[in-house]
Amino acid sequence: MDREKVAILGGKGMLGSDVARECALCGMDAKQFDLPEFDITNESHVREAIEWAGAVVNCAAYTNVDKAESEAELAYRVNAGAVGMLGRIAKAAEKWVLHVSTDFVFDGLKDGAYSEEDEARPLNVYGASKLAGEKMLAESGCANAIMRVEWTYGEHGNNFVKKLVKLAEGRDELKVVSDQVGGPSWTREVAKAICEFAAKRPEGLYHFANGGYVSRYEMAKFVFEKLGIGVRVKACGSDEFVSAAKRPLNSMFDCSKISGVLDGPIRGWGESLEEFLREL
């Protein structure tokens, strides 16, 4: 049945690879579409993927946050224009789309966790392009759900956890920012939620992160402790690191809405990260 066919755009990346894995475990026929054979900005490529599928999961994105500041046109073409095109083609084909977005749509100034009702005010080009993509998908009129995720890490691709381990090599001390707070989220846990969505086909905007909140500094200490790495972690402010793009300090998500859709509870960030580190 087409309903069990899931096209994963950006399917070979960090999240897409885990989505493909979880779909297979759930008995869904998942097909990965990714560069170089698949380009989400190519209309014929998108049509081919949608024609094959019963549902589409879009993990494809321009994700280089700092480089986006100087490559705004490319970031918007991938994160916004292509998503709008995807929505229009899906609307005509009557296919459901799940689009993955980001905590970077917020400015991080809220005192408390962000819900889906909070106003998005991105600080950088990457966040603005992802927000534009959300709006263009909604305007397309296709059946869709948008899942914002944050602080993701996984087996595939580059991420904060892998960077920490690499930076710790040959060092006695490592500076990590203590003023950025969020919910570290294992892509395997995100993928499980996405597979549930692919089966249930809900619509609307949802936030997903592993449960609880932690600073980047506290997360780094947790990683090194669990891996037995003896490097000292020194807390510092974000202003000590010069970068082209500003980051939100508060990335905390209120996940109560998505909890009402998922079959089981969302695992805590520490439990998930510890399991990932054991596998790593």
Label each residue of 198-244 as H, E or C: HHHCCCEEEEECCECCEEHHHHHHHHHHHHCCCCEEEEECHHHCCCC
**Candidate list 126, 153, 206, 217, residue with the active-site label:** 126
Q: Residue type for 203, please?
A: E
Position 225 scores a pLDDT of 96
Q: What pLDDT does residue 242 have?
A: 87
CA distances from 108 to 122, 147, 222 (A): 9, 18, 23
Q: Which two tokens stand for residue 151?
A: 């602080």
217 is catalytic: no
Distance CA 225, CA 50 (A): 45
Which residues are CB-neighbours of 37 under 8 A, at least 6 positions away?
none
Q: How many residues does this entry show for the chain? A: 280
| Residuewise pLDDT in 10s, the chain (280 residues) | 455 899 999 999 999 999 999 999 999 999 999 999 999 999 999 999 999 999 999 999 999 999 999 999 999 999 999 999 999 999 999 999 999 999 999 999 999 999 999 999 999 999 999 999 999 999 999 999 999 999 999 999 889 999 999 999 988 999 999 999 999 999 999 999 999 999 999 999 999 999 999 999 999 999 999 999 999 999 999 999 889 999 999 999 999 999 999 999 999 999 999 999 999 8
Encoding tokens for residue 143?
Answer: 């059946």
Beta carbons of 222 and 162 less than 8 angstroms apart: no
The whole-angstrom separation of Cα 38 and Cα 187 is 22
CB atoms within 10 A of CB 271: 14
For the record, the structure tokens of 96 come out as: 């459901």
pLDDT, position 1: 42
Q: What is the CATH number of domain 2-159+185-212+252-268?
A: 3.40.50.720
Provide the residue type at 90 as one letter.
A
Q: Distance between terminal CA atoms of the chain?
A: 36
User: In the chain, what's the furthest Cα-to-Cα distance?
Assistant: 58
Q: How far apart are CA 131 and CA 146, in angstroms?
A: 11
What are the phi and psi torsion angles at 224 (to 5°)? -65, -35
Q: Which residues pair with 207 in a beta bridge?
A: 148
Residue 254 Rama label (left phi>0; alpha psi -120 to 50; beta): beta
3-state SS class at 86:
helix
187-200 helix and 269-279 helix, angle to the nearest 10 degrees: 110
Question: Are 99 and 146 spatial neighbours (Cβ–Cβ below 8 Å)?
Answer: yes
